[in-house]
């Protein structure tokens, strides 16, 4: 019965998936086709056409410039022009006037022939210090002006201040001794050709009328020469972009300006040293792909309508049960194994809900049993370890009392008796396996006072922060460590006798250090002892160290430990490190030199 239902539902899934595939394949194909058409049209036709048109415009400008330069070269060889350079030498006043008139007629005629590209010509005679021009203004000979501009190439501006009446223009100076460009020999004839940006604007306007772009003439550091209907704001944004690039002979790049995409093309104009730049809005070029785009939108609308229907079907039959199952699993992940799910549908999810409830119930029972056994085992382990360490301390104390009694040290015996009384009061509180560190320290003070009575060389210093003394630790954690420092450290030589106990809280850990000035251990012995702390109990490993290490690890976790290093006093340094509980793991108000507890500093 269940198998038939599952098969039926799987058939439903197959139908939905088949329907989605049937819809997706045509949509993807149509989109791939339209995208391919768009890419080909934009990449091939637009770029190729734009570069060709821009190159043609550049060739037109270069042709006009070359015609101007050719006329200057031919005009400089004209006999009347050559004669103008020596008028004051041999000609009379009438001949001089006649020569000037002929030269001006020829310059005016040339400018009239090129009415779409008007050019101003000026002839300078260095020998006569005279100038002649086809402009309305009177030409003045200025040798510094000629030397400053006689570079042999086209210049934009001639060094004079531009005015609205006399704007910047393109200038080319040709001397008849241009074997040495830019130098005047004293008898040169110099011909100057000048034209204004309006000539270029005429060509830019013609180019724009026949295309879709916005052409301009650009040179870094100079003001743009725009067509007369250009968008000045868009042009300024483009200038900031072009100033950051190194333009080659040709350049094409798609840029984004004012949240719109533009195709920027550039071609260098070699004679002038400027770049022709055309900026084309790509939105105007999308006409060839409008059919493909509309087809894609129609397919997407169809997909949306059918997808809505399929999503409603999936939501009712699949998504809601899955969401309910996910919420139940998240509750289990958080540790809530009491969650149960009820199903009001008769499909495969009903079986999943039933199995989930069964699994959750079994996990809850298993965890409760494991937790109970773990707590019992941990309590038994702690009691066993504590029972092992208590006799060890008792044997040492009783042996000491016997020795002191034999030596008639009544005060020491009385002190030991008081200490044993306090010790047994401390130990008989079996309901609490832990104690505060301050109680442990008080026990150590009593112990060290007794040892000091027995051995006058012994003196100790205890320095533990007040906040750390409030921490709860396993009972008799510190006593075996201090006892080892007394017996195996101070007691091994006649020159030692200092015990130092210090503590600190940092990085979420409590750190307690016990140091002595005894003979200590070698590096090999320290490594061996640290290794034994991580191994099972061995015959040559003392109960005190090993048991204390195990108790710390059981109490505070695997990051807690006992380690042994060399002490700055010369002997052994025992480090007891345990992790703070989560409630205390934050910043600890302890700093060196702050509030601390100094317990019975005896010297």
The confidence score (pLDDT) of residue 386 equals 54
Name 171's bridge partners: 155, 194
Name 513's bridge partners: 502, 575
pLDDT grade for 428, boundaries at 50, 70 and 90: low
Q: Report which secondary-structure segment, H or E, holds 472.
A: strand 472-474
pLDDT in tens, 121-148: 888 888 778 888 888 778 888 888 888 8
The confidence score (pLDDT) of residue 40 equals 74
pLDDT grade for 2, boundaries at 50, 70 and 90: very low
Q: What is the mean pLDDT of residues 187-199?
A: 85
Task: Judge whether 171 and 149 are in contact, CB under 8 Å.
Answer: yes
Task: Judge whether 23 and 302 are in contact, CB under 8 Å.
Answer: yes
pLDDT for 586 beyond 50: no
pLDDT for 440 beyond 70: yes
pLDDT for 64 beyond 50: yes
Least confident range of 126-140, 150-164, 306-320, 401-415: 306-320
Least confident range of 241-255, 371-385, 399-413, 461-475: 371-385
Whole-model pTM over 0.85: no
Q: How far apart are CA 238 and CA 259, in angstroms?
A: 13
Report which of residues 237 and 544 the model is more confident about. Answer: 237
Least confident range of 72-81, 194-203, 212-221, 299-308: 299-308
Name 131's bridge partners: 124
Q: What is the mean pLDDT of residues 194-212?
A: 86
Residues in Cβ contact with 385 at an 8 Å cutoff, skipping those fewer than 6 apart: 547, 550, 551, 554
Q: What is the mean pLDDT of residues 237-258?
A: 86
Average model confidence (pLDDT) for the chain? 77
The confidence score (pLDDT) of residue 597 equals 36
- The candidate with the shortest Cα–Cα distance to 496, out of 481, 515, 479, is 515
pLDDT in tens, 469-528: 999 998 778 888 998 888 888 877 777 789 999 999 998 899 999 999 888 888 998 888
Least confident range of 63-67, 521-525, 528-532, 539-543: 539-543
pLDDT for 585 beyond 50: no
pLDDT for 182 beyond 90: no
pLDDT for 541 beyond 70: no
Q: What is the 3-state secondary structure (H, E, C) of 275-328?
A: EEEEEEEHHHHCHHHHHHHHHHHHHHHHHHHHHHHHHHHHHHHHHHHHHHHHHH
Least confident range of 10-19, 58-67, 305-314, 515-524: 10-19
Q: Return the CATH number of the domain spanning residue range 431-598.
A: 3.30.565.10
The confidence score (pLDDT) of residue 343 equals 67
pLDDT for 13 beyond 90: no
Residues in Cβ contact with 399 at an 8 Å cutoff, skipping those fewer than 6 apart: none
Q: What is the mean pLDDT of residues 376-398?
A: 60
Q: What ranges make up the beta strands (E) of 475-590?
A: 498-506, 509-516, 561-566, 572-579
The percent of residues above 70 in pLDDT, for the chain, comes to 77
Q: Alpha carbon 268 to chain centroid distance?
A: 40
pLDDT in tens, 447-457: 787 777 667 78
């Amino acid at each position: 019965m269940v198998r038939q239902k599952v098969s039926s539902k799987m058939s439903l899934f197959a139908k939905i998936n088949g329907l989605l595939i049937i819809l997706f394949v045509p949509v993807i194909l149509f989109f791939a086709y339209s995208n391919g058409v768009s890419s080909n049209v934009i990449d091939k036709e637009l770029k190729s056409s734009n570069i060709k048109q821009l190159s043609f415009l550049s060739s037109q400008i270069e042709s006009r410039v070359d015609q101007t330069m050719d006329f200057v070269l031919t005009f400089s060889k004209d006999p009347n022009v050559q004669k103008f350079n020596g008028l004051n030498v041999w000609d009379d006043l009438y001949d001089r006037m006649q020569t000037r008139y002929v030269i001006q007629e020829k310059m005016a005629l040339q400018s009239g022939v090129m009415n779409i590209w008007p050019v101003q010509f000026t002839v300078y005679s260095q020998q006569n210090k005279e100038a002649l021009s086809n402009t309305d203004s009177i030409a003045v000979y200025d040798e510094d002006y000629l030397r400053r501009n006689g570079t042999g190439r086209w210049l934009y501006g001639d060094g004079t201040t531009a005015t609205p009446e006399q704007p910047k223009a393109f200038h080319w100076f040709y001397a008849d001794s241009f074997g040495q460009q830019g130098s005047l020999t004293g008898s040169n004839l110099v011909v100057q050709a000048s034209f204004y940006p309006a000539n270029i604007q005429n060509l830019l306007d013609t180019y724009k009328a026949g295309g879709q772009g916005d052409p301009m003439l650009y040179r870094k550091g100079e003001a743009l020469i725009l067509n007369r209907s250009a968008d000045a704001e868009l042009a300024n944004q483009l200038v900031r972009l072009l100033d950051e690039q190194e333009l080659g002979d040709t350049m094409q790049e798609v840029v984004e300006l004012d949240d719109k995409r533009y195709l920027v093309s550039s071609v260098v104009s070699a004679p002038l040293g400027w770049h022709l730049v055309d900026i084309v809005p790509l939105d105007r070029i999308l006409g060839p792909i409008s059919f493909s785009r509309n087809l894609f939108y129609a397919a997407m609308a169809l997909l949306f309508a059918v997808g809505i229907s399929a999503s409603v079907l999936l939501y009712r039959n699949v998504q809601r049960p899955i969401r309910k199952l996910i919420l139940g699993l998240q509750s289990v992940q958080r540790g809530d194994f009491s969650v149960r799910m009820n199903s009001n549908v008769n499909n495969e999810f009903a079986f999943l809900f039933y199995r989930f409830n069964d699994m959750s119930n079994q996990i809850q029972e298993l965890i409760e049993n494991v937790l109970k056994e773990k707590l019992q085992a941990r309590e038994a382990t702690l009691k066993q370890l504590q029972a092992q360490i208590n006799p060890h301390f008792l044997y040492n104390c009783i042996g000491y009392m016997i020795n002191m009694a034999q030596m008639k040290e009544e005060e020491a015996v009385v002190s030991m008796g008081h200490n044993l009384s306090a010790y047994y009061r401390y130990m008989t509180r079996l309901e609490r396996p832990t104690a505060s560190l301050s109680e442990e320290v008080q026990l150590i003070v009593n112990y060290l006072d007794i040892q000091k009575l027995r051995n006058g060389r012994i003196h100790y210093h205890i320095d533990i922060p007040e906040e750390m003394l409030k921490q709860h630790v396993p009972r008799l954690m510190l006593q075996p460590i201090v006892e080892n420092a007394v017996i195996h450290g101070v007691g091994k030589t006649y020159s030692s006798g200092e015990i130092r106990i210090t503590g600190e809280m940092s990085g979420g850990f409590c750190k307690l250090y016990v140091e002595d000035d005894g003979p200590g251990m070698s590096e090999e012995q320290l490594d061996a002892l640290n290794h034994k702390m991580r191994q099972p109990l061995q015959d040559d490993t003392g109960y005190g160290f090993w048991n204390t290490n195990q108790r710390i690890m059981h109490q505070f976790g695997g990051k807690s430990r006992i380690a042994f290093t060399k002490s700055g006093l010369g002997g052994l340094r025992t480090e007891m490190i345990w992790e703070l509980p989560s409630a205390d793991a934050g910043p600890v108000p302890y700093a060196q030199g702050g509030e601390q507890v100094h317990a019975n500093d005896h010297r």
